[in-house]
Copies of this chain bind each other. A is one copy, B any other.
Amino acid sequence: MDFAQIGRCFEENDCFTILTHKSPDGDTLGAGFALCAYLRDMGKKANVLNGEGFPDRYSFMYEGYEPQEFEEKFVIAVDIADPKLLGSGLAAYEEEGRIDLCIDHHISNKYYAKESFVDGNASAACLILYELFKELGRPISKHIAMCLYTGIATDTGCFKYENTTPAAHNAAAELIQYGFGFSIINRKMFDIKSHGRLAAERLAADTMEFFCDYKCAVMILTTEMMDSCGIEPAEFEGMASIPLSVEGVEIGVTVRQRHEQVWKLSVRTTETIDASAFCKQFGGGGHIRAAGCELKGTLEQVRVQITEAVGRLGL
């Protein structure tokens, strides 16, 4: 599908449901709320769904948003590479073959929707939407600009990471002119930490272990630790970058307990290691410098699996 076809698809359909991925981040929510507002501005009915609800952290994107009543006729997944990422709350959409269109920027996209627009070179799903809206020509609101900016900024670490393209900067140059207070959003997204998050960072820092001549750092977040800090899962997302922030570390692994014996790994790497390939051996995937997977077993078993896999990298 190309942009013109997506545009026709918006024109010819109505009653849209937009699906966002579990453990929602700025890009999936930014894309979801930007697309929803865009379709509503076109006079269409549209809602955004997340299997786990929308985290408070991103409330500035859905302030004033009210779900509409309608019989859903067209389903769009945004920033969702794999149907597993729908989470149990939305899994039925894929199981029943109800996802009409997927708009995504993950090279690892599973092409599970009836139609897909995947640009693996785009810094963010929000950047694809920015370019789509630009080509379609309809003016966007300040709110849409703010959602798109937030997705691009959060997925690029505020234009810091390698996935930041000239197109991402050009989009930001145009979007910040809508005057939505981007620096306040950035302070909220990148600088401010809740007391709970601060406590979680202190607990997690105490678990940090180094392997392979300090080139690998592994940090653990158990359910018990997370519960003791009393914060939402979304607040842990940014913590995955901590292990890689230590001087000399080339692969940083954050291990977050999902259930008794289920652990979510977030892997971040420097230019020497392919994070996506690393996670693929455990059935996961993602980007070349940021990927994820799930491991099963006791913490000790998981730690052994990680250190063995890191050992095979030959650092």
Contact = CB atoms under 8 A, between A and B. Distances in A.
Interface of A: 157-162, 164-170, 172-174, 176-177, 181-184, 186-187, 190-195, 198, 201-202, 205-206, 208, 214, 241, 244-247, 270-271
Contact of A169 (B173, B183, B184): B173
Copies in the complex: 2
Contact of A246 (B161, B176, B193, B241): B193
Contact of A183 (B164, B187, B202, B208): B164
A202 B193 contact: no
A246 B160 contact: no
Given A173-B169, A173-B170, A202 B192 contact: no
A182 B194 contact: no
A245 B164 CA distance: 24
A201 B206 CA distance: 12
Contact of A206 (B162, B172, B202, B271): B202
A174 B193 CA distance: 33
A192 B160 contact: no
Contacts of A271: 181, 183-184
Contacts of A169: 159, 169-170, 172-173, 176
A192 B182 CA distance: 25
A143 to B, nearest CB: 19
A245 B173 contact: no
A122 to B, nearest CB: 14
A164 B245 CA distance: 24
A183 B166 contact: no
B187 A270 contact: yes
Given A160-B191, A164-B182, A193-B246, 10 more contacts: A157-B158, A158-B158, A159-B159, A160-B190, A164-B176, A181-B271, A184-B270, A191-B244, A195-B246, A202-B206
Nearest to A161: B183
Contact of A192 (B167, B195, B247): B247
A22 B214 CA distance: 32
Contacts of A174: 166
A300 to B, nearest CB: 24
A166 B160 contact: no
12 contacts: A158-B159, A164-B176, A164-B182, A166-B173, A166-B177, A168-B173, A169-B176, A191-B241, A192-B246, A194-B246, A198-B208, A198-B246
Contacts of A182: 164
A172 B187 CA distance: 20
Closest 7 CB pairs of A and B: A169-B173, A162-B183, A166-B173, A160-B186, A159-B159, A169-B169, A169-B172
A153 to B, nearest CB: 8
Given A202-B205, A241-B191, A247-B193, A172 B160 contact: no
Contacts of A246: 192-195, 198
